[in-house]
Amino acid sequence: MTRRPPPKDRGAPEKRRHAPAPPSDARGPFRPALPDVVALYGAHPVRAALNARRRKLLTLYATETALPRIKDLAHAAGLEPRLVDARDLERRLGAEAVHQGLMLEARPLPEADISDIVSNSGIVLALDQITDPHNVGAILRTACAFNVDAVIVTERHSPEFSGALAKAASGALEFVTIVAVVNLARALDEFAERGYARIGLDSEGAESLSTVALSRPLVLALGAEGKGLRRLTRERCDAVARLDLPGPIKSLNVSNACASALSVVTTRLG
Give dist(CA 173, CA 160) in Å, integer: 12
Helix (H) or strand (E) holding 82: strand 82-83
Which pLDDT score is estimated for 76? Answer: 96
Residues paired with residue 179 on neighbouring β-strands, in sequence order: 152
Which pLDDT score is estimated for 16? Answer: 42
Which pLDDT score is estimated for 28? Answer: 64
Of 229, 136, 129, 123, give the one whose Cα is nearest residue 183.
129
Give dist(CA 171, CA 19) in Å, integer: 17
Could you read off the pLDDT tens digit of each residue along the chain, which spans 270 residues? Answer: 444 444 444 444 444 444 443 433 445 677 666 778 999 999 999 999 999 999 999 999 999 999 999 999 999 999 999 999 999 999 999 988 999 999 999 999 999 999 999 999 999 999 999 999 999 999 999 999 999 999 999 999 899 999 999 999 999 999 999 999 999 999 999 999 999 999 999 988 999 999 999 999 999 999 998 889 999 999 999 999 999 988 888 888 999 999 999 999 999 998
Which pLDDT score is estimated for 27? Answer: 58
Which pLDDT score is estimated for 32? Answer: 66
Residues 6+ apart with CB under 8 A from 25: none
Which pLDDT score is estimated for 161? Answer: 93
CB 142 within 8 A of CB 135: no
Which pLDDT score is estimated for 249? Answer: 86
Domains, the chain, ordered by start = 24-106 (3.30.1330.30), 114-269 (3.40.1280.10)
Give dist(CA 187, CA 156) in Å, integer: 14
Helix 43-52 / helix 67-76 crossing angle, nearest 10 deg: 20
- Cα–Cα–Cα angle for 223, 38, 121, nearest 5°? 45
CB 168 within 8 A of CB 134: yes
Q: Taking the CB of residue 228, how many other CB atoms lie within 10 A of it?
A: 20
Residues 6+ apart with CB under 8 A from 191: 114, 124, 198, 217, 219
CB 146 within 8 A of CB 262: yes
Which pLDDT score is estimated for 30? Answer: 76
Helix (H, G, I), strand (E, B) or coil at 28: coil
The DSSP symbol for 224 reads B
Give dist(CA 247, CA 226) in Å, integer: 20
Burial of residue 113, with CB atoms counted within 10 A of its CB: 0-12 exposed, 13-18 middle, 19 or more buried: exposed
Give dist(CA 127, CA 192) in Å, integer: 17
